Amino acid sequence: MTYVYIQRSSINKRRITLSCKGALITQNLIVLRPTVVGVTGSQLRSAWPSETYRSPRGFENPGNLCYWNAALIFLLHMPDLWNWLRCSYQPSHDLENCGFSNGCLGCQLCRLYEVYWLESPRDLESCLGVLWLHIQKAAWKGRDIREQHDICEFLDALIARLYADSTEKSRADLESMFQSIVAREGQCSQCGQRKTLPASMNWWLIASFPEDLCPGSHGLLKTIENNLRPTSLQVACRGCGGSRTKHEISQDIVLYPEVIFVQINRFQHDKQKNQDYVCIEETLTFPPEMIQYQLFAFVNHLSRNIDHGHYSCFAQGPYGDWACFSDGIVSAKTLAALRSHEKNRKDVYALAYRRTQPLPVRSVPPLIPDFEEEGQFIEQSPSEVTLDEMIKFEGRAVRWTFKQQLAPPGDNGALIKLKSARARVQRAQVRIRLTSTTGEVLEGQGIIPLQPNIIPAQPVSKTARPRGVLKRKLPKPKIPPGPPPFTRSAAKRLQQSRGVAG
């Protein structure tokens, strides 16, 4: 299946119809989002542009700006962001009105990429000075630069500012690169009813230490999974009359970006640092999809307190070689030496991973295209379920319709479940994945309600009727004509006709 370039900003929706034994369930729309952006038709790439690159350099620290230096090195070794600035942000940006007065952070950051990697080092200091003024005005306003700040908070502010200055399409591309989506579902501890909670969309994945962590005993993936463990939360429950009850909240990553930022939760409420060891993993593989990511940068924090200390950055350059950046000091390193160093394992604070392979295609039943007019019905055997579906991209002339035979529910019950003689709305989890021959992928999932329209013949009580079935009044039975009812006036007329005095 081949189709045109997919924009993440497009809202692609799908309508689903299920039919079984005269029962018809229809449902509305879900959102599809691409997982591979710019494979063809787009110039966004995770690879470095074809250029001749200069040797990496560090930045001098005039005060407490080691977090700023480490953050810039962290971003400058990220071709994904550079390609986004060149190919998505700037083409949709008003370059004529872009000046210092407007505080255009994106254009200045793109300029820094060019000067740092391609041009003379003489222009680097002036470019840094202009960029720093833009950051102070646009993203870091009101902060005291004489104090130490958290590097993850600083990076978060930069990305948030770039996101705010972007167009809708550029925002969608930025989300595809850096934003992870975590779905949350709660289950009431009293009535057992499940409730879908708003998903969490973050630039960072948080890694928390398990309670049983021993030095070097757990890898980074283990700490990420520990942060996604079920938690308890007080949530309003419909099954309990709207009162707030204890819910067990389960979390699951449902959308993976091109680049994952991981922040290790080392600092406690008292601002003291947890210096437990974490294995710096060269590759991360997220089950069950087995999505693989490769390490290309990480940041260390050297101190026991969040308000003090020093940040250093370790990053992989365009030619695959690693280096250590401690302000203006740059030294060549190997990844094996960095991973095995004991100090790095207890001081690593932030890491960046890039996806190395697309999401695998799950095996699904073949879809049979249906070119009949909408509303027609395909005959089916009593034991089968027919899935009647239509996929249509909103705002685009892309549409497919299918009819497909599914296996019957079997021992799991009827297609439409009854409870207290009422037809229940069925909550179904739907996943859609579209893959083109060019490598582009659109996928989405969600839990959606399916509303019964026609209820199959099932015994129901007299006091309640299934939802969706209209109550029809039966016509009154016709009574054959007979003698008039015997009343007092009728008895008097009968006596008079017989000549009996009243």
Query: Which DSSP letter does residue 418 get?
Result: E
Neighbours of 40 (CB within 10 A): 13
Mean pLDDT by 10 residues, the chain (502 residues): 31 43 47 40 63 90 89 94 90 67 78 91 88 86 83 93 89 90 89 87 88 64 88 87 89 88 83 82 84 93 80 94 94 91 89 75 36 35 68 74 72 52 64 76 77 51 46 58 58 64 46
CA-wise closest residue to 70 among 305, 320, 314: 314
The secondary structure of residue 476, as a DSSP letter, is P
Question: What is the pLDDT, as a whole number, of residue 317?
Answer: 93
- Residue 421: the pLDDT is 39
Residues 199 and 179: beta-carbon distance below 8 Å:
no
208: which 2 tokens? 């928390």
Which residues, including other chains, have CB under 8 Å from residue 114's CB and lie 6 or more apart?
none
Helix ranges (H only) for 168-273 are 168-178, 220-227
DSSP letter, residue 381: -
Helix (H, G, I), strand (E, B) or coil at 445: strand
Sign, CA torsion 483/488/493/494: positive
Task: Write b or e for each residue in 165-187: b if 16 or more Cβ atoms lie within 10 A of its Cβ, otherwise e.
Answer: bbeebbbbbbbbbbbbbbbbbbb
d(CA 443, CA 435): 9
Amino acid identity for residue 40 in this structure: T
The three-class DSSP label of residue 449 is strand
Angle formed by the axes of helices 151-164 and 168-178, nearest 10°: 150
Give the C-alpha separation, 226 to 205, whole Å: 11
Pull the structure tokens for residue 125: 């200091």
Cβ(40)–Cβ(440) under 8 Å?
Answer: yes
Domain ranges of the chain: 12-39+361-454, 181-235
Q: Read off the DSSP letter of residue 54.
A: P
d(CA 390, CA 16): 6
Residue (of 44, 445, 88, 440) closest to 255 by Cα position: 445
| Residue 33, both tokens | 């989002």
